[in-house]
């Protein structure tokens, strides 16, 4: 098992690394050339900039039993198909039971925005300490479940 982080705009990378190091789990951070990261524990893979380049690289590295941290529902659906585990930065686990509904909600929200002539929406609310604590607890529960 390894933990793969879709790290472009990922606010929980440091939390994931700390837990991975504490539990001696290999960790790979994937980012594009616009979000170059460094780590003293994880392997960092800098992927050429391009639409979905990091996503494709992550999917190529992902194996059954791996844990993937991503906010991309499409990536989540594909890693579930490989037998991997997925977790969102909110702490919500991606499962075969909830991914179809999440993808449908994303599709309907995009369709509604396009109907109003809007391509972008307001970004997420500022991340709080409670958000980080909720994610950390959820990731630790997921790793315990896997082991």
Give the global pTM: 0.90
For residue 124, is it within any domain? no
Query: Three-state secondary structure along 65-123?
Result: CCEEECCCHHHHHHHHHCCCEEECCCCCEECCCCHHHHHHHHHHHHHHHHHCCCCCCCC
What value does the mean pLDDT take over residues 78-103? 95
Read off the pLDDT of residues 93-114 as tens digits, 9 standing for 90 and up.
999 999 988 888 866 777 777 7
> In terms of Cα–Cα distance, which of 29, 59, 69, 58 is closest to 45?
29
Is residue 103 included in any domain, yes or no? no
- Please report whether residue 119 resides in a domain: no
Residue 139 is part of which domain span? 3-97+135-146
Give the number of domains in the chain. 1
Write out the two tokens for 123: 């970004």
**What share of the chain has pLDDT > 70, as a percent?**
92
- Domain of 16, CATH number, reads 3.40.50.1010
Residue 74 lies in a domain: yes
105 lies in some domain: no
Mean predicted confidence (pLDDT) in 109-135: 79
How far apart, in whole angstroms, are the C-alpha atoms of residue 79 and residue 3? 12
* 84 domain-assigned: yes
Q: Is residue 21 part of a domain?
A: yes
Asked whether residue 120 is assigned to any structural domain, the reply reads: no
């Amino acid at each position: 098992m390894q933990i793969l982080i879709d790290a472009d705009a990922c606010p929980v990378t440091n939390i994931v690394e700390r837990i991975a190091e504490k539990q001696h789990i290999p960790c790979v951070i994937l980012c594009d050339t616009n979000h170059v990261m460094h780590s003293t524990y994880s392997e960092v893979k800098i992927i050429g900039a391009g639409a979905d380049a990091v996503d494709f690289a992550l999917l190529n590295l992902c194996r059954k039993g791996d844990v993937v941290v991503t906010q991309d529902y499409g990536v989540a659906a594909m890693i579930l198909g490989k037998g991997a585990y997925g977790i969102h930065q909110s702490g919500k686990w991606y499962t075969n039971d909830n991914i179809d509904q999440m993808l449908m909600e994303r599709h309907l929200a995009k369709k509604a925005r396009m109907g109003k002539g809007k391509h972008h929406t307001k970004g997420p609310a500022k991340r709080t300490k409670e958000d980080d604590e909720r994610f950390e607890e959820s990731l630790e529960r997921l790793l315990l479940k896997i082991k």
